[in-house]
Amino acid sequence: MGTGSALKSGRKNGVIVPEQPGKSAIEVRGVRKVFGTGESQVAALDTVSVSIRENEFFTLLGPSGCGKTTLLRLIAGFDFPSAGEILLHGQDIAPLPPFKRPVNTVFQNYALFPHMTVAENIGFGLEMLGKPKAEVKARVAEMLKLVKMEALSGRRTSQISGGQQQRVALARALAPQPKVLLLDEPLSALDFKLRKEMQIELKRLQHETGITFIFVTHDQEEALTMSDRIAVMSSGRILQVGTPWDIYDKPAERFVADFIGETNFLTAAITGMANGKARATLKSGATIDATVAEGFQPKDNATVVVRPEHAKLTSGKGDLSGTVENIVYFGTDTHIHVRLDSSEAFTVRQQNTRSAGCGFERGDKVGISIGNDAAQVLRD
């Protein structure tokens, strides 16, 4: 656990400390959260279970209102679940108030105390834990160094920039060496360049401290670049948990495929299974092999997804055929929108070279070939 072991048991505030660190840092078991009463009841979380491993950079990804922030608040203790358990190293922390949980949060608006200096903000948690002054001071210095803010330790938080506030918020949450760090869309207020910088910075901090990060975002790109594993959420449920590769290349459901990246959806008839792959016959008559989620038996009719960059446009015959409808230039690549003969829409992404044009024009009759490992059958 490295630095995290500083949380000793039997502390004054009664913050609980796990006896035997298990495999998972946080285990969410059948958690429901219902807001409102009677007629106006809304289930923000609908029986969610997920296990978050130690030292993992775990991301909760989904559109606003999907329940990701609610789940984070339940783990932090700002709300209490209506049912279910939340285990921290095997111990149920769901009924504990936030100040008794060895879990810290980086807030979306940072929530830095405006009446305190940068250093006072960072030292606040340790001070509340009753640590001796010298220890607090040393740890604050260490934290300032970690986030490269030594020069501004005496400033008021209103006198520093947004990016610097972000660093202070991080340092403040990391200072008490929490078991788990919760980050609630912490980068959403930053501009594009700074956000890219902080993404790398966050990865570095997670690596250096060895603390489990639970990161909430609606930005799929952010999730893909930073996470060890991602849970995609929608309407209060977790749809799929997996590595960024799994999520992107093997989306299990339509929502996941649609929410992350661009995708082509094709209707197909499943004619058989071989080597864990399904044989899918497309409307064009061509038959392709498509991967299937583990343990899932596709029915006769299914939807197959193909990422635009995994298909190739040819002037001859391919697996599919259609007419070029539109060509959109993106700098690094070009998107070619094709209307298939089956009247479905299909987009192909082609890497650009310096030679002029993409080789096709609007109205061209084209073929599309789908790679050997490019298609995935959806579970919907």
Partner 1 sequence: MASAEEVAKEAERRDIRDRWLLSAPALIIIFLAATGPLLIVVIYSFLTPGPYGDVVWKFSTDGWLSVLMQRDIFDDTLAFADAHLSIFWRSAKLSFMTTIFTLFFGFPTAYFIATRPARQREIWLFLITIPFWTNLLIRTFAIQEVIRNEGIVNTVLIKLGIISQPIQMMFTDFALMVGMTYVYLPLMVLPLYASMEKIDFRLVEAGYDLYANRFQVLRRVIIPLVKPGIIAGSILVFIPALGAYVTPRVLGGSKNMMLGNLIELQFGQGRNWPLGSALSISLMAIVMVALLFYVRSAGRQGGTHG
Partner 2 sequence: MGSRFDIRRQTGFTAIAMICFFALYLPIITVVVYAFNAGSSIAIWEGVSLRWFYQAWNNNQVVDASIRSLQIASVAATIATIVATMAALATTRTKPYPGLGFKYAFINQPLMVPEIVTAVALLIFFSRIKIWTGYSGLGYLMAAHTAFCIPFAYLPIRARLENMDLTLEVAAADLYATPWKAFRRVTFPLLWPGILAGLMLAFVISLDDVVITEFVKSGGQDTLPTYMLGQFRRVITPEINAISTVFLLISILIVTVFFFISRKKDQE
Inter-residue contact 111 to 124 (CB < 8 Å):
no
**Out of 47, 51, 82, 188, which residue is the one contacting partner 1 (CB under 8 A)?**
82
> What minimum distance in Å lies between the beta carbon of 125 and partner 2?
4
Spatial strand order of the sheet with 83-88 comes to 42-53, 24-35, 83-88, 91-92
**Residue 45 sits in the site that holds partner 1 (CB under 8 A):** no
Inter-residue contact 334 to 347 (CB < 8 Å):
no
**Out of 4, 18, 62, 125, which residue is the one contacting partner 2 (CB under 8 A)?**
125
User: Residue 124 binds which one of partner 2, partner 1, none, with CB within 5 to 8 A depending on kind?
Assistant: partner 2
DSSP, res 156: B
**CB nearer partner 1, residue 85 or residue 344:** 85
Taking residue 281's Cβ as centre, other Cβ atoms within 10 Å add up to: 14
**Out of 18, 62, 81, 236, which residue is the one contacting partner 1 (CB under 8 A)?**
81
Inter-residue contact 177 to 136 (CB < 8 Å):
no
Taking residue 276's Cβ as centre, other Cβ atoms within 10 Å add up to: 9
**Residue 298 sits in the site that holds partner 2 (CB under 8 A):** no
**Out of 52, 75, 94, 278, which residue is the one contacting partner 1 (CB under 8 A)?**
94
> What minimum distance in Å lies between the beta carbon of 297 and partner 1?
38
CA atoms of 46 and 70, how far apart (whole Å):
11
> What minimum distance in Å lies between the beta carbon of 73 and partner 1?
12
Q: Which of residues 235-294 bind partner 2 (CB under 8 A)?
A: none
**Out of 92, 219, 246, 249, which residue is the one contacting partner 1 (CB under 8 A)?**
92
**CB nearer partner 1, residue 99 or residue 296:** 99
**CB nearer partner 1, residue 236 or residue 244:** 236
> What minimum distance in Å lies between the beta carbon of 3 and partner 2?
17
**CB nearer partner 1, residue 98 or residue 261:** 98
CA atoms of 310 and 118, how far apart (whole Å):
49
Q: Which of residues 207-236 bind partner 2 (CB under 8 A)?
A: none
> What minimum distance in Å lies between the beta carbon of 13 and partner 1?
17
**Residue 47 sits in the site that holds partner 1 (CB under 8 A):** no
Enter the tokens of residue 112.
């830095």
Classify 245 as helix, strand or coil. helix
Burial of 212-235, coded b for 16+ CB within 10 Å and e otherwise, reads: bbbbbbbbbebbbebbbbbbbbbe
The region of 54-62, 75-83, 140-148, 247-255 touching partner 1 under the rule CB under 8 A is 75-83
Could you report how far apart the first and last alpha carbons of the chain are, in Å? 40
| Site map 72..111 versus partner 2, x via CB under 8 A | ----xxx------------------xxxx--xxx-x-x-x
**Out of 2, 63, 90, 95, which residue is the one contacting partner 1 (CB under 8 A)?**
95
Backbone angles phi, psi at 17, to 5 degrees: -125, 130
Cα separations in angstroms, 362 against 17, 325, 335? 65, 6, 12
Q: Which of residues 303-332 bind partner 2 (CB under 8 A)?
A: none
**Residue 243 sits in the site that holds partner 1 (CB under 8 A):** no
**Residue 18 sits in the site that holds partner 2 (CB under 8 A):** no
User: Residue 81 binds which one of partner 2, partner 1, none, with CB within 5 to 8 A depending on kind?
Assistant: partner 1
Inter-residue contact 28 to 49 (CB < 8 Å):
yes
Burial of 305-329, coded b for 16+ CB within 10 Å and e otherwise, reads: bbbbbbbebeeeebbbbbebeebee
Inter-residue contact 51 to 119 (CB < 8 Å):
no
Site of interaction with partner 1 (CB under 8 A): 79-83, 86, 92, 94-95, 97
Site of interaction with partner 2 (CB under 8 A): 13, 15, 76-78, 97-100, 103-105, 107, 109, 111-115, 124-125, 128-129, 158, 172-173, 176
